[in-house]
Amino acid sequence: MSTTRLTSAPARESDSPAVEGRRETVLIAAADPRRRDELIALVERAGWIPLYAATPDDAYQVLYDAPPGLLLLDIGENSGAELEILDYFRADPDGDRVPVVCFLASPNRKLIIDAFLRRADDVVSAREHPEELIARLHARLDRPPLPRTKLTEDPVTGALTKDTFAGQIRHELARIGRGGPAGVLALLALAGC
């Protein structure tokens, strides 16, 4: 169960957007060797370090060894193993923080919907221009997903989430217990929240 780590050429000038000084790792899971090689070349051209997982077990091992900056899943018509990798990453706390972009050989509405329902961050078609794919990957690497469970504020109300609020209360009680000055607590309960 070893993951093949591919060495890439030094980052080179390209007409794609670049983030200076960054060498992110991109894990590529692709069953088709031709498409795998195309994706590896694309990732290298963008200046990132490609990692290749030949099997779902290899992808899981990469997640445990050192989570990649992004997972690029090549999803074909027989997409069971690739979607299994997506499910596994989304079920794991470390994997849930890794942006996942699904790459489709041809637009297939059922696969696109299935990937999004499994919480993929983006789905792109092989018909997209390579520079657009690189730009989408840059966007995902620059703004990784934040699971709703990790939010500190409610996106609708702007108030602290229940867990964050409870943590603040524990902190304040501990501070007062150590002899700190007393404080004031204002609590607003919203129906249905």
Per-residue confidence (pLDDT) for residue 15, from 0 to 100: 36
The yes-or-no verdict on residue 171 having pLDDT over 50 is: yes
Residues in Cβ contact with 174 at an 8 Å cutoff, skipping those fewer than 6 apart: none
Calculate mean pLDDT across residues 83-89.
Answer: 89
0.85 cut: is pTM over it?
Answer: no
Distance CA 36, CA 2 (A): 17
Q: Is the domain 4-142 a CATH 1.20.210.10 member?
A: no
pLDDT in tens, 11-55: 333 333 333 444 689 999 988 888 889 899 989 998 899 999 888
Per-residue confidence (pLDDT) for residue 193, from 0 to 100: 54
- The radius of gyration of the chain from alpha carbons, rounded to an integer in Å, stands at 21
pLDDT in tens, 108-162: 888 889 899 999 999 988 777 888 888 888 888 887 666 666 777 776 667 788 8
Domain-by-domain residue ranges, the chain? 4-142, 151-193
Strand order in the sheet with 49-53: 4-5, 49-53, 25-29, 70-75, 100-104, 122-125
Give ∠ CA 14-17-23 in degrees, rounded to 5: 85
- Tell me the one-letter amino acid at 172: E
- Contact, 160 vs 139, CB < 8 A? no
User: Which conformational region is residue 180 in: left (phi greater than 0), alpha (psi within -120 to 50 degrees), or beta?
Assistant: beta
pLDDT in tens, 62-71: 888 888 989 9
Per-residue confidence (pLDDT) for residue 65, from 0 to 100: 87
Give the 3-state secondary structure of residue 101. strand
Q: Do the bridges between strand 4-5 and strand 49-53 make them parallel or antiparallel, or are there none, so unpaired? A: antiparallel
Per-residue confidence (pLDDT) for residue 72, from 0 to 100: 92
